[in-house]
Structure 1
Amino acid sequence: MKVLVLCTLVAAAAAWPSFGQENLLESFQNDDPGVSQAKKQQDVNHLVDRIYERIRYPDLQDIANAFNPEADTSMYSDDGQAVHHLMNDMNDHMLLERHHLFSLFNSRHRREALMLFDVFMHCKTWTCFVNNAAYFREHMNEGEFLYAFYTAVVHSDLGTGVVLPPLYEITPHMFTNSEIIHKAYTAKMTQTPGRFQMKFTGTKKNKEQRVAYFGEDIGMNIHHVTWHMDFPFWWEDSYGYHLDRKGELFFWVHHQLTARFDAERLSNWLDVVDELHWERIIREGFAPHTSYKYGGEFPARPDNVHFEDVDGVARVRDMIISESRIRDAIAHGYVTDKDGNNIDILNDHGIDVLGDIIESSMYSPNAQYYGALHNTAHIMLGRQGDPHGKFNMPPGVMEHFETATRDPSFFRLHKYMDNIFKEHKNSLPIYTREDLEFTGVAVDDIAIEGELKTYFEQFEFSIANAVDKSDAVEEVAISTLIPRLNHHEFTYKIDVNNNNDEDVLATMRIYLCPKNDANGIEFTWDEGRWYCIEMDKFWKKLAPGKTNVMRKSSDSSVTTPDSPSLHTLMEKADEALISGDELDLHQFERSCGLPHRMLLPKGQTNGMEFLLLVAVTNGEEDKVIEHSEDNEHGGTHSQCGIRGEKYPDKKPMGYPLDRHIPDKRLILDIPNIKTTTVKVFHELHHEDH
C-alpha cells in the first residue's frame, strides 16, 4: 500500500498543474452555482459504483489523478485545516490500507473516516465536494471512504435532494449470503447471466428461523444503518447543527424495532423476545452464512454461550457496573455530569439525557462515569465467538449497523436496554385527565377501508458489485431474489367531532397493539402498551362539527418508499442531463424509515387480533414551529426527525402510551382517544395483480 500511495502522489505531483490541466484547475477554483441536481446525482452514482475497484468514469479519473486537496484552501470553510490533518496522516502512511475490512466500532477506522467526513463538511461548493470524493476514493480504504461519503451527503447542505444508492447494491456482501456470492462469481467467470434465489439463514430446526424474514429484510437493514447515519453517536455540534432530541430518538427507534420484532414473533406463535443479561447465557447461537468482501467469513456463535471478557474492549463486570450506575441514576431521578452537577431526569426531557448516556453519544453528560453501554455491548456480543482473539476472527455482524439485526440477539440486547428505559418511564407520574384530554374534541368512530392483509413477494436486486470487474471478462447480469414481507394498501377512516366554535389544529396519533401473548392470554393495558407499534402521526385542521379524516397507509410518517436501484438512478440522472429536464427524486431522499411494505406485522392466516388506538391531541400545543396541516416534515419524522431541524412534536415519543397505566379507564374514558379491535391476516399464496 505504501508503494501504491507513493506512486499515486508522485503521479499527482507530476501532473499538477502541467500540460492540459489549466482548465481542470480552473474548474476546481470556480464556484458552482450552475451544478444541476441531475449532475450531482450522476456524480454520486459514479463515485459509489464498483466501490472496491478504481474509478471507471473518465471525468472522475482525471480529477482523481490531477486534483490536489491542499492546493487551494479557499474552497474550504475552515481554510483547509481538516484536509491538512487528513493529508498528513495519509502522507505518513497512517491510514488503513485498501482491501481491508472497515468497522465503525473500531476506533481507528472511525477516526480516519471522520477525518474525511470533516473535509466534506467544510467544502463550500459541490465542485469541492466531488473533487475531494474522487481523490480520496482512490487513496483511502473503501469502507472508510463510503461511510464518510454517505454520511456527508446526508448531513451537508450540498447533498440536499441527492438520493444515495441502496447499500445492498453497493456492498452486497453485507446483505447477501456466501452461497449467492459464490454463484455470482461462477456466473461471471462462465459468462452466464444468473438470477439466484436467496434463503434466510438457518433451518426449521431453529425456531428463530420463523422470524428471520424480519431481521434479514434488506429494507429494514437500510433503515437501521441510515438512522445511525442520520443520528451518529460520534456527532458533535461543531459539524454544523444540533441533533434535536437525539437521545430520545435513539430510545424510540430501537424500542419500535423491538416492538415490531415482538409483533412478528407473536404472529409466528413465539413468545415475545426475552432480554439479554450479562450474567446469563446467550441461549441462541447464530451462524451468519455471510462473508466480507475482504477479511473472511463473519464469525458464528454457538448456542448457550456465557458472556466472556473481550480483550481490549471491556470486561463483563464493566458492563454490569455501567448498568448499575445508570439504574442508580434512574432511582435517584438525576444524573451527574462530568463537572459533578446534577441533571434532573424526572421530566419529559429525562429520556433524552438517558438515551445519550446509554448509547453513549458525544452528547452524554458524563461518558467516563456512565460508560457506553450500547456501543460496547454491540462489540461484546459481536466478539463472543472469539473473545480473546485466539483465532483472529473478523468483527461479528453486531459490529456493523448494516448486519446487526440479522442476529436475533440484537433484539435481546435492545430489549435489555429497552427495559432500562421503561424503568425510567415508570418512575414518572402517570398522565392525568388534563394531560390527555383535548377539550371539545371527541373521536366517534374508527374504521379501516381495505384489508389488513400481508403476503410475501419476491424482490430482485443486482449483485453485480459483489464480483470483481475485469476487462478480459465481459459483464453479465447477476441478481438475487429474496422473499420479503408486503401488505395490501389500506386507509384509516376516523370520525372526529369538534364541539368548539372555531377551527382547531389536531395531532392524529395512531398505534397498533397486539391484544394477546403467545398463549392467547390478553395483555393488561400496562403490559400491552409497551408492545404498541406507532403506525402514523400527522396534523389535521378540524372545522366545527364532524370531520371524516381519511389517511392512506402509504402516507405514514413512520415509513418510506423503497429506494430506486443504482441502475434506475443512473438512467434517470443521465436522461435528465441529456434532455436538460429537472431531476426531482425528493420522495426518495431519505432512506431512514421502515419500508412502506413493512408497516403491518405479518399477522396470521386466520387473523391476528390487534387493538387499533387513535389519540387526537391539541396540535397548537404539540407543534414546535408554525406549520400547515399538510406539512409532512420530511415524510418519516416520527422516528427519524427532520434533518437539521427541531423535532416537530413537543409531546414525548410514544405519548400517550409511554407512561404507567394502572387503570385502563385512564385511556378509555378520554373522549379524544378511541380504540377498536382489528385483525391482521396473512395471505399464504399471493398472486401479483
Structure 2
Amino acid sequence: MGATTVALLVILAAAAAVPKRQTPEFDQVQQTRQKNILRLLTRYRQPPLWEDMAAIAGNYTLQPENYQVPELVEDFVQRKRSGEFLAFDEPTSVLEDSDVDQIKLFVDLLYHSKDYDTFYKTAVYLRETVNKAQFIISFLISVKMRQDTKDFLLPPLFEIRPELFITSDVIQQVYDLKMRGGLRPLDVGQYYILSNHTQYRTVHTPEEKLSYFTEDVWLNEYFADLNYRYPYFLSASNYTLTNGDVRGDVFYHTLRHLYARYFLERLSHGLPEVAPLSCEKGVPTGYNPQLKLLNGVELHLRPKNQNLLDADAFALQRIRYSEYRLYEMVDTGYVVSATGGRKRYKQSEATNILGNLIQGTADSIHPRYYGALYKDLLSLIGRYDPTQRYGLAASVLGKYETMLRDPVFFQIVKRILNIFEQYQNYLEPYTRKELEFPGLKIESLEVDRLVTYFDGFDLEVDNSLKASSTEEIEKIKIFASKQRLNHKPFTYRIKVFSEKPTKAIFRTFYGPRYDSYGNEMTLDEARQYFVEIDRFVYELVAGENDFITRSSSDFVSAEYGSLYMARLQEVVELALQGRGDYSPASEFRLGFPDGLLLPRGAPGGLPLRVYVIASPLPRGVPAAQVAGPRAPIAGDWFVSLADGRPVAFPFDRRIPHTHNFRVPNSYTEDVTVHQGTIDD
C-alpha cells in the first residue's frame, strides 16, 4: 500500500464545479428533501443532532395505513418484539440469508411508503431502531428505486462508511485524534493535524502488488453501487429496478469487465493469469484485509492454503449440484423452469437467463433447482467459521464494499466466467457477413501516447466519528490522503470512408498482445480479456470522414465519480439560496472509474492492441435514440447504447480464423501503456 497521510482541512466554496446538464432545476421542496437525505447519512451511528430529525426519531410510530403493504408493519413489530433483529453494531453480511431477510423487510417498509413524507419519517425511525449497517444498505437500495427519491444525489460510499475503504491504522488515528484533543484551531473554521503518518507495507505475495487496483476506493464504490442498484434478493417484476429486465446481462458484463481489467493489471507486473477457484485444492492465497468495523471487530484474515473440504459439507454439495446443472443447461441448450418444466432457450436470452441463474437472483426461473452458485462460492470462502462457533465477523467477501480487495474474489469470478465461456464456445463464430458493414471502411486509427501515473487525492473519513454539535460537523473535516492510479488525457482518431450517408455505432476495445511469458496471443486466446472503453453513434457523410476524434474524457465507459459529501452539501445550500442548480442523479452516467481506464503499464511499456469496429445501427433499439457521439448518456452506458447485439460483441464468440474477423469496417492498432509521471 502506498503512503497514507491523515490531514485535517476545511472545505471552501471554491471547490470543483458541478457537472452541468440541460435539465429543469429542482424546486425548493426537492432541494430541502435532498438536504435531509444527506443529513440522514451524516454521522448515522449517533442520534440526530438536528432538532427536526430528533423529534421524528423520538415520536414517530409505524402505522399500517401509511404503507401500500400494511401487513409489513405488523411483521416488523412482531419481529422487533421477539428480538430477531441484529443489534445496532453487530456485523452483517449480504450473503447470510437471515441478514438479507431483515434488510429486505426494511427495504419494503421504505419502498412501500405511500408518500415521501412517510418514507422520510420511516427512514429516520429505522436509523435509530435497527442495525446501522443494515439501515444504510436498505436506505441506499430504496432511494435508488423510489420514483420520488431516485433523482437525489448520494455521497460516495467511502465517505458514508470509510472504515470499509480505509485501513484500520488510519481509522485508529482519527479516533486517537478525537480522544486526545489533538485538534488545535489556527484560524476561524480551520484546523490541522499536527503530524503526518506514513505507512509502508512489505509485499509478501504477488497479489499484494495489485493492492492499488483492488483497494481503489472508486473501484470498490463502483462495484458496491452496482450491487445496490441490482439487489439480487429483489425481483424486477415487483420493484422498480432500472434495466432489471436485463440484470443477468449486466451481471455478466460487470464480471467480464472486472476480470479483464484485473488480468491486464497482472500483465503490467508480469504475473500470469489466476486459476479458477478449486474447492478440492483449497485456497492457496492468504489475505489480511487490515480493516476493522466500527464496533471494534476486525474483518478476519485468511491463512494461505485454506482447506475448503473442512468447511460446510452441505454448502460444498450445493455448489457441486448447482454447477453441474448450470453446465447441463449450457451443454444441452435446455433450461428447467419452475413453472414450465424443461424448455429450449433462445440464443438472444441465454446470457441474461444464465446470469440470473448463477447469481441466484429473485428473477431466476428456478432458484430451487439451480441454486445460487456465485453467492455460495463467496459465502463458502467468506465464512471461515462456518458453524459460527467462535462468532467471527463476516470476511471482506460478505460486503459489497470490500469484496474486490480479496484476491480470491477474482478466482471465483474466473470460475463463474468459465460457464459463460463454455456457452459461447458452442456458438458458431461470426461470419464475415455478420461482422461487415457494406460500403464502409475504416482506413486508419491513430492513438496518442498512453501514460499512467499515481497521483494523490483526499477523502473525508470523519463520518465514523461522533460529533457533539452540528457546528463541529460543519467545521471539522478530517481527510485521509491516498495515492491512486490515473492516466494522462489522450485521444484517438478514426478515418472512415463511407459510400453513402449513414448512421453507424462504433465500439472501441483494448486487449493484450502478449501473455505473461512473452508469447504473442492470438485474437482467440486474447478475446476474453478485451475491454470495451468506448461506444458511440456517429452520422457519417458520403466519402471521407477525416477524422472522427474521441477524447478520453468522452468515453462512455468511464465515470468520474460521485460528488463528495462536502461539495454536495455546498451545492444544495447554494441551490436553496437561488444561487445555483444541480443535475438529478438519473442524468449521470454510470461506469468504470475513470482513473482506472487504463492498466498501470510498465516503465518500458505494456504492449496492447486497440480494436475498433463500426456496425450498422438498426431502428428501434436504445442506441438509435442517441443524437450523436457527445450526447449525454445516463445510467448503465452499455444498456443505453444497446443495439441488439450481445454485450461483449464481437468478442463473445470464438475467433478460429483471424482473416474472417478482420473486416474492412474494423481496424487494429498496436499501442503501449507507459507507467510514468504526470510530466511524462
Fold agreement, TM-score > 0.5: yes
Number of positions where the alignment pairs a residue of Structure 1 with one of Structure 2: 639
2:660 corresponds to which letter in structure 1? Answer: L
> Any idea what the Cα deviations from partners look like across 1:286-308, whole Å, max 9, x if unmatched?
01111111261111111112213
Matched residue SS, 2:148: helix
TM-score for the superposition, normalised by structure 2: 0.89
Q: CA RMSD in A?
A: 2.5
CA contact (8 A) 1:454 1:488 kept: yes
Structure 2: runs of 5 or more not aligned: 1-25, 183-191
Matched residue SS, 2:286: coil
Instruction: Pick from 573, 577, 593 the counterpart of residue 595 of structure 1.
Output: 593
Tell me what 2:571 maps to.
572
> Cα offset for 1:243?
0.5
Instruction: Pick from 173, 178, 192 the counterpart of residue 183 of structure 1.
Output: 173
The CA distance in 2 between the partners of 1:345 and 1:613, in whole Å, is 32
Tell me what 1:653 maps to.
647
> Does residue 153 of structure 2 align to residue 163 of structure 1?
yes
CA contact (8 A) 1:100 1:295 kept: no
Q: Structure 1's 687 and 440: CA in aligned 2 closer, same or farther, altered over 3 A?
A: closer
Tell me what 2:554 maps to.
555
1:372 corresponds to which letter in structure 2? Answer: A
> Any idea what the Cα deviations from partners look like across 1:271-316, whole Å, max 9, x if unmatched?
12221111113111101111111261111111112213544x9432
2:176 corresponds to which letter in structure 1? Answer: T
1:215 corresponds to which letter in structure 2? Answer: T
CA contact (8 A) 2:589 2:635 kept: no
Tell me what 1:19 maps to.
none
Matched residue SS, 2:650: coil
Instruction: Pick from 121, 130, 133 the counterpart of residue 140 of structure 1.
Output: 130
Q: Structure 1's 648 and 632: CA in aligned 2 closer, same or farther, altered over 3 A?
A: farther
Matched residue SS, 2:562: coil
> Does residue 508 of structure 2 align to residue 510 of structure 1?
yes
CA contact (8 A) 1:223 1:591 kept: no
Q: How does 1:49-88 map to 2 (within 5 A)?
A: 49-70=42-63, 73=66, 76=67, 78=68, 80-88=70-78
The CA distance in 1 between the partners of 2:597 and 2:276, in whole Å, is 24
> Does residue 515 of structure 2 align to residue 494 of structure 1?
no
> Cα offset for 1:377?
0.8
Q: How does 1:289-688 map to 2 (within 5 A)?
A: 289-294=290-295, 296-308=297-309, 310-311=311-312, 314-339=314-339, 341-345=341-345, 347-384=347-384, 386-448=385-447, 450-470=448-468, 476-500=476-500, 503-547=501-545, 548-577=547-576, 579-581=577-579, 583-586=581-584, 592-620=590-618, 623-624=621-622, 626-630=624-628, 634-635=633-634, 637-638=636-637, 641=639, 648-668=642-662, 670-683=663-676, 685-686=677-678
> Cα offset for 1:551?
1.7
The CA distance in 1 between the partners of 2:30 and 2:449, in whole Å, is 39
Q: Structure 1's 555 and 87: CA in aligned 2 closer, same or farther, altered over 3 A?
A: farther
520-529 or 228-237, which deviates more = 228-237
> Cα offset for 1:263?
0.4
CA contact (8 A) 1:346 1:428 kept: no
260-269 or 78-87, which deviates more = 78-87
Tell me what 1:90 maps to.
80
Structure 1: runs of 5 or more not aligned: 1-32
> Cα offset for 1:443?
1.1
50-59 or 657-666, which deviates more = 50-59
> Cα offset for 1:90?
3.1
> Cα offset for 1:171?
0.8
650-659 or 346-355, which deviates more = 346-355
The CA distance in 2 between the partners of 1:79 and 1:305, in whole Å, is 46
162-171 or 129-138, which deviates more = 129-138
Tell me what 2:141 maps to.
151
> Does residue 269 of structure 2 align to residue 279 of structure 1?
no
316-325 or 208-217, which deviates more = 316-325
Percentage of pairs with the same residue: 27
The CA distance in 2 between the partners of 1:472 and 1:533, in whole Å, is 46
> Any idea what the Cα deviations from partners look like across 1:127-176, whole Å, max 9, x if unmatched?
23222211221112111111111111111111233111111111111111
Matched residue SS, 1:410: helix
Matched residue SS, 1:54: coil
CA contact (8 A) 2:590 2:634 kept: no
Tell me what 1:109 maps to.
99
> Cα offset for 1:627?
0.8
Q: Structure 1's 198 and 57: CA in aligned 2 closer, same or farther, altered over 3 A?
A: farther
Q: How does 1:224-263 map to 2 (within 5 A)?
A: 224-236=223-235, 237-240=237-240, 243-263=244-264
1:247 corresponds to which letter in structure 2? Answer: G
> Cα offset for 1:431?
0.9
2:274 corresponds to which letter in structure 1? Answer: V
Q: Which has the higher contact order (CA 8 A, sep 6+)?
A: 2
> Cα offset for 1:507?
0.9
The CA distance in 1 between the partners of 2:536 and 2:205, in whole Å, is 40
The CA distance in 2 between the partners of 1:199 and 1:155, in whole Å, is 41
The CA distance in 2 between the partners of 1:224 and 1:204, in whole Å, is 25
Q: Structure 1's 682 and 487: CA in aligned 2 closer, same or farther, altered over 3 A?
A: same
> Cα offset for 1:621?
5.2
CA contact (8 A) 1:445 1:496 kept: yes
CA contact (8 A) 1:266 1:517 kept: yes
CA contact (8 A) 1:346 1:427 kept: no
Q: Structure 1's 298 and 361: CA in aligned 2 closer, same or farther, altered over 3 A?
A: same
Tell me what 2:10 maps to.
none
> Any idea what the Cα deviations from partners look like across 1:204-236, whole Å, max 9, x if unmatched?
232211111111000000111111112221121
> Cα offset for 1:576?
1.6
Matched residue SS, 2:655: coil
Q: Structure 1's 321 and 94: CA in aligned 2 closer, same or farther, altered over 3 A?
A: closer
The CA distance in 2 between the partners of 1:221 and 1:230, in whole Å, is 14
CA contact (8 A) 2:571 2:580 kept: no
> Cα offset for 1:629?
2.7
1:248 corresponds to which letter in structure 2? Answer: D
152-161 or 62-71, which deviates more = 62-71
Tell me what 1:9 maps to.
none
Q: Structure 1's 507 and 82: CA in aligned 2 closer, same or farther, altered over 3 A?
A: farther
CA contact (8 A) 1:113 1:147 kept: yes
The CA distance in 1 between the partners of 2:514 and 2:627, in whole Å, is 35
> Cα offset for 1:403?
0.3
The CA distance in 1 between the partners of 2:70 and 2:579, in whole Å, is 35
> Cα offset for 1:453?
0.8
549-558 or 414-423, which deviates more = 549-558
Q: Structure 1's 522 and 345: CA in aligned 2 closer, same or farther, altered over 3 A?
A: farther
The CA distance in 2 between the partners of 1:151 and 1:66, in whole Å, is 25
Q: Structure 1's 271 and 258: CA in aligned 2 closer, same or farther, altered over 3 A?
A: same
650-659 or 228-237, which deviates more = 228-237
> Any idea what the Cα deviations from partners look like across 1:487-539, whole Å, max 9, x if unmatched?
01112211122212xx3221110100111011111111111111101111121
CA contact (8 A) 1:197 1:481 kept: no
> Cα offset for 1:68?
3.1
The CA distance in 2 between the partners of 1:440 and 1:69, in whole Å, is 65
Matched residue SS, 2:207: helix
The CA distance in 2 between the partners of 1:621 and 1:515, in whole Å, is 36
CA contact (8 A) 1:197 1:482 kept: no
> Cα offset for 1:429?
1.3
2:336 corresponds to which letter in structure 1? Answer: T
Matched residue SS, 2:534: strand
> Any idea what the Cα deviations from partners look like across 1:380-426, whole Å, max 9, x if unmatched?
11123x33434321100011111000001111110111111101111
The CA distance in 2 between the partners of 1:390 and 1:492, in whole Å, is 57
113-122 or 190-199, which deviates more = 190-199
1:177 corresponds to which letter in structure 2? Answer: T
